[in-house]
Structure 1
Amino acid sequence: MPQSPRDKQLWAYEQVLRITRDMAATTDLDELLGVILSRSMELLEAERATLFLYEAETDEFVSRIAHGADEIRVPAGVGIAGAAAAGGHVLNIPDAYADERFNREVDRATGFRTRNILAVPLADHSGQLVGVLEVLNKQQGAFGPGDVTLAETLGAQAGVALQRARLLEHYVKKQQMEQALAIARQIQRDQLPREDPCVEGFDLAGGSWPADETGGAADDPDYKLGRGA
């Protein structure tokens, strides 16, 4: 780490460029989350980081990856993450326990002691909320104005990269589901009789109309279903 202010600033922006390249190099969401967390801790000289992804369906923040913690779900409108998202700008919390928005239960559950926080809202290119990055505990002292500027720059890049990866993940899951449904439909078709049975004195006709994508059918042209042996 360079020591002079000018060299430190140059180093920091070189790191932002490197992080941006690393984020652009992957489309896997979990891998991208790992890059953002590890690089943000390195860039901002922090002890820990947590990234909360916003789920519009439930209006919650969900920690997909948190260093040293299990998954956390919180309503989107509460806490420091909620305040950062609502305000749309980085929150610098120099003393976490002096801020009434801070949820102390997380520290109690993990055994970690949060001193200070940078909460960085993440948005896509259209300004839609993607999540909030929380960087915890500056290794020396508290986060300063320079850290806030770096966090804003990193957040702008991370939000776009995350939204791209989430859209791709959704597309892949949709394709996998459609493939599974196609196989299920074929299995259903294979179970249908190839031709109607011949019953003297009757003209028989049959059809199958699925209630959804897969469909299901029970054909009983001989009226044998439910009849005892």
Structure 2
Amino acid sequence: MNPAFSYKKLADFGRTLLNRLSLEEGLPMISEYAKQITGAERCSIFIYNPKIKMLWTTLADGIEKIMIHKEDGIVGHTVKEKKPILVNDPYIDERFLPAIDNKTGFITKNIASIPIFDSNRHVIGVFQLLNKPSGFTQEDIKSMIFFAHYISGYLELAILFEDDTNSLMKGIR
């Protein structure tokens, strides 16, 4: 396990996370924790909407919302393959979308992309960690798979809660 990872820190994190009802409250907390335990510079959390076959972020460090089709980019391939993808030289990987770097001015040096599953083993999201100074390792992947399992219940409930709230709001209008 990653040296920055501790079960006590994870338990403390989980208790705090459960007090965050919306994705807008919980995702920044999840992202910060993921960066702390891996040493990544950035972390984007993509939520997958199977109805429109798109991935979107409410949180992408340093930039506005990103929307990507499930067939595109490393994040899309993570959904399609349903397994982690580690890329330590993205500019030579055909799946990489350099247009996002071009738009933001950020230079992606390495990527760890980890699927997040719901209780029925459907992909509901993806962590995408960027730019670990020493490059991502299989140990990072193991830590993030464990972390993805840990927070998946929260994400599944938060997504359902937001869907219900949006449905209620449409009925009121």
Say whether the fold is shared (TM-score over 0.5).
Answer: yes
Paired amino acid for 1:170: D
State which of 136, 139, 144 in structure 1 corresponds to 2:137. 144
Gapped runs of 5+ residues in structure 1?
A: 1-5, 182-229
Secondary structure at the counterpart of residue 158 of structure 2: helix
Contact 1:22–1:35 under 8 Å retained in 2: no
| Residues 1:37 and 2:31 aligned together | yes
Corresponding residue to 2:117 among 116, 123, 132: 123
- 1:146-183 CA distance string (max 9 Å, x none): 111101011112222111001111222333333x25xx
Matched, 1:62 2:56: yes
Q: For residues 99 and 20 of structure 1, what CA distance do their matches in structure 2 show?
A: 35
Q: Give the Cα separation in 1 of the matches to 2:107 and 2:158.
A: 32
> Is 1:87 the counterpart of 2:77 in the alignment?
no
> Displacement of 1:93 after TM fit?
0.8
For 1:171-203, what per-residue CA distance to the aligned partner results, in whole angstroms no more than 9, with x for missing partners?
Answer: 22333333x25xxxxxxxxxxxxxxxxxxxxxx
Tell me which structure has the larger Cα radius of gyration.
Answer: 1
Determine if the alignment matches structure 1 residue 17 to structure 2 residue 11. Answer: yes
> Could you tell me which residue of structure 1 aligns to residue 151 of structure 2?
158
In structure 2, the residue corresponding to 1:100 is in which secondary structure? coil
Could you tell which deviates more after superposition, 54-63 or 169-178?
169-178
State the secondary structure of the residue aligned to 1:54: strand
Please state how far the C-alpha of 1:144 moved relative to its aligned partner.
1.2
Asked whether the 8 Å contact 1:114–1:137 carries over to 2, the reply is: yes
Matched residues in 2 for 1:18 and 1:114: separation? 31
Structure with more contact order per residue of length (Cα contacts < 8 Å, sep ≥ 6): 2
Q: How does 1:164-179 map to 2 (within 5 A)?
A: 164-178=157-171
d(CA) in 2 for partners of 1:104, 1:88: 22
**Alignment-derived partner of residue 94 in structure 2:** 100
- 1:88-111 CA-to-partner distances (Å, cap 9, x unmatched) read 221111111121110001111111
1:77 equivalent in structure 2: 71
RMSD: 1.7
Whole-Å separation in 2 of the counterparts to 1:18 and 1:101: 36
Instruction: Please state whether the residue corresponding to 2:112 is helix, strand or coil.
Output: strand
Distance 1:90 1:24 in 2: 26
Q: Equivalents in 2 of 1:122, 1:116: separation in Å? A: 20
Q: SS where residue 41 of structure 2 aligns?
A: strand
